[in-house]
Structure 1
Amino acid sequence: MHTDPVASLDIGGTKIAGALVDGNGRILVRAQRPTPAREDGETVMRAVEAVLAEVSASPLWASATAIGIGSAGPVDASAGTVSPVNVAGWRGFPLVERVRAATGGLPVTLVGDGVAITAAEHWQGAARGYDNALCMVVSTGVGGGLVLNGKLHPGPTGNAGHIGHISVDLDGDLCPCGARGCVERIASGPNIARRALEGGWRPGPDGDTSAAAVAAAARAGDPVAIASFERAAQALAAGIAATATLVEIRIAVIGGGVANAGEVLFAPLRRSLQDYASLSFVQGIKIAPALTGRDAGLVGAAAAAAALGGRDGTAAAVSG
């Protein structure tokens, strides 16, 4: 196993984070800036360059072998471009080219943020030791990634495993992606809260209408809050079962803010999965919470650069 550090970027609508990650998954250096998501594309890129400048100021930078980027999507790894839904100034933005130029020509690997988190969970988290896994992020949106036959499987554009946009309700609500009844439209945090409010749930004196507040109400026995989480769990179960039927995953790992609801989400999810994963070869799928926490994007982007570096000449092998 190589021990030279790999640089990484975790780019989302709220923050842009950068790091150097060693061969054991430890973050040696980190930097972060808010994402100027409402500004033009060059302003956003300057924030990326500021993060890279801070990380590269470390004396450890000289030994960095590659850089991995996990970005909110859609991404197009084959073209090296990104078009994050929540960063309006970036549409087909040539991020790989610009990061390569900013880092003195380091090999760059780009994947979607769900794929990056999957790489982290397979290397250091709940999917470790599993050759076939789905890892999901259930938060403001619902994303994911796949490990197949022991290897990260990002697909040609870096978006494979994006379970949030599997349709599980053919006549369901219109999703911002243009389809109907997507997992994300039912199971994301904002949609859990929306459905609870529409069903008659009311927040407490603090006025908190987040999914976390709905989860607290569900734990306290509120039937509308419980029903909203059960509906989210049902959608997740249907998407997980569909994925398992196609590629025979053995574990589904769930992270993100909504996963912090704990058994309010996981208990109905396990029950619903029994209804959807009924064929013999998909029964017994393990459901587990993610373990890599807030650094998953940075660690996973580094792991993806190691695992997929052949796309861009990367020679490092962080994940062994």
Structure 2
Amino acid sequence: MNERTNVFDVIIVGGGPAGLGAALTLGRQRRKVLLVDSGTYRNEPAQEMHMFLSRDGFPPAELRRLGREELTHYPTVEIREDLVVTATGAAGDFTVDLASGPSEHARRLLLASGQADVLPEVDGVAERFGKGVYHCPFCHGFETAGKPLAVLGGDFSHAMLALYVADRFSDDVVLCAGGPLEVSDELRAALKEKGIDVREEPVTRIGGEQESLTVHFGSGAPLERGAIYHRPVSRQRSDLAAGLGCELLPDGCVRVNAMQQTTVAGVYAAGDTARLPDLVGPTPFVITAAADGAKAAIWLEQDLFRSSVNVPIPG
């Protein structure tokens, strides 16, 4: 039996929609929960979120504020603004070291720290990311419909992204490859058939303001666009999962099962930190992250309850 006197049932790493959703569900079951929030979020540049029922167009920061406010109704839930540096241990006895100094202990862990986008080294992209330069046509396509659009990138995924936005949102799409377009002849033909121009000159700078952007090239005339799409490379914001020994999928996501369990007993993961192995990638939407957090919390609660009951569970 664990003899520590101050042990949380669950420590949640990450204060985005996945972490907040999990804390809410566990708080309602009167579980002792510590949510550690580093204050950095993948969608921080975004002014609006979409596809969240009853909150379409809502500011993500306001959703986080309201989520925190709701958690104040549950006295067993504590929110701490800090950074988790390391996590060690095993199911029933995890130790979490915080940047502020103290260590905390928990019976279970939920990793919901999310991913971070790695933007291309093109002048002007970072300043306009989420404000004219967008990563996702599901999140921003409706608002950019009918505008002249550009897609920044020269690989398969960006060529397919150009085809998608041309199919759904605009008949004026230019693929700015930034160099030689590295796709098959069949994909080149599909781009041509869809009327998508391809520019392979190096992209040197993105200028202008939201809804009136200019793509500057190493040679040739600049390109005026109403919005630009780019799908950045992403990485785990935290290396806690790897440090705990959780299996990572080839794209760096934490492998989970249908109950949001990782391959390490007692460690769960939710949001775009993790995905099922059958999916081609994580779903980086606010509503799915919140759902993942609630789902993880439901199975965490059952895990904790069953571990405390000395009754065999039928297989």
TM-score (norm 1): 0.30
* Greater Rg over alpha carbons, structure: 2
* Higher strand proportion: 2
